[in-house]
Structure 1
Amino acid sequence: MLKLMKAIICYLSYSGNTEEIAELIKDHLETSGYVVDMYMIGFGAVPDLSTYDKLFFGTFTWDRGSTPDEMKDFAREVGYKPENVYVFGSGDTQFGGDDLFCGAVDRLVKFYNCNYDGLKIEQSPRGSQEKIVSKWIEGVLENGESKNIRP
């Protein structure tokens, strides 16, 4: 019997950019046969993450390369470090340049000991950046090696 693969996308978004990335990831996963749940961080109890095959955590980067407090609270609420985490996020190079760009993504990848590099998107994933999202998620699904993918 074929097992249904399940994924959850937990994300934090103020401007909508990270939410747009989450939606693109969701569409790609569903096209690949996954059952996908979405959880907007800060709205309701944290779901039981142990029931999912893949966990996607998304955040924006705040205040000169910082991780938003809500994302830190989410990590505390989860209470453990799952092994099957993939991190994505949005950022803006005009606030600190490349050194601080999507610093929250880098911190979460390190915190969760991810075996796959995080996805970093400059502001909105629209246009040519949609291809970057697709390439990243294809790599995640293939469990291949990754390099940080940027435009």
Structure 2
Amino acid sequence: MVSFLIAYASWSGNTEEVAELIEETLHQEGMNVTKHRIGGGGPIPNPGEYDAMLIGSFTWDQGATPDEVKDFVADIGYKPEPVYVFGTGDTQFGGDLLFCNAAVKLARFYQSAVAPLRIEQSPRGVQESKVMEWSKGVLEHWRHLHELKC
């Protein structure tokens, strides 16, 4: 069975809500999903044991990536493939230029083939469908990669 790792950091709960919606969408598509809260304790999962990794982060302090996310990336010690990135942010802190900048930087670092999902604060309301569509796009991209390898 295809398995995905969703690793995320969340303080206010917004990024966690996005992770849960992604998990639900991938489950509905028949995928096995493991969630790991970055900085939540417990052993760090090995992304190599999964078919793909999705990493999520909120943006902190004028466009910065939280230290616990940086530590998670460093602790993994390599760049798994493929990696898909999602993030939450707030345009009132830095405007469009810094909006979800942590997700943008992570996507660049991992050379993600799918544009990062960027959610304004909570995924509730109209943004919920944005999360589900992005998740289905990730799955479509993964399936396409898998077909190329076969």
| Shorter-chain TM-score above 0.5 | yes
Aligned residue type for 1:67: T
| Structure 1 residue ranges (4+ consecutive) displaced by more than 2 angstroms after TM superposition | none
- Structure 1 unmatched runs, 5+: 145-151
Bigger shift: residues 38-47 or 21-30? 38-47
Contact 1:6 1:36 in 2 (8 A): yes
- Structure 2 unmatched runs, 5+: 143-150
Structure 2 residue 49 is the aligned partner of structure 1 residue 60 = no
Q: How far off is 1:11 after superposition?
A: 0.4
**What is the rounded CA distance, in whole Å, between the counterparts of 2:139 and 2:38 in structure 1?**
24
The one of 10, 32, 35 aligned to 1:35 = 32
**What is the rounded CA distance, in whole Å, between the counterparts of 2:86 and 2:66 in structure 1?**
14
The one of 13, 16, 20 aligned to 1:19 = 16
Indicate the SS of the match to 2:80: coil
Which residue number in structure 1 is paired with residue 148 of structure 2? none
Which residue number in structure 1 is paired with residue 112 of structure 2? 114
Aligned residue type for 2:79: K
Contact 2:7 2:55 in 1 (8 A): yes
Q: How far off is 1:45 after superposition?
A: 1.7
Which residue number in structure 1 is paired with residue 146 of structure 2? none
Contact 1:59 1:105 in 2 (8 A): yes
| The structure with more helix, counted as a fraction of residues | 2
Bigger shift: residues 92-101 or 131-140? 131-140
Aligned residue type for 2:69: M
Structure 2 residue 147 is the aligned partner of structure 1 residue 136 = no
**What is the rounded CA distance, in whole Å, between the counterparts of 1:38 and 1:143 in structure 2?**
20
**What is the rounded CA distance, in whole Å, between the counterparts of 1:75 and 1:100 in structure 2?**
21
**What is the rounded CA distance, in whole Å, between the counterparts of 1:45 and 1:79 in structure 2?**
14
CA offsets 1:70-89 (integer angstroms, 9 cap, x no match): 10000000000111110001
TM-score, normalization: structure 2?
0.92
The one of 121, 124, 134 aligned to 1:123 = 121
TM-score, normalization: structure 1?
0.91
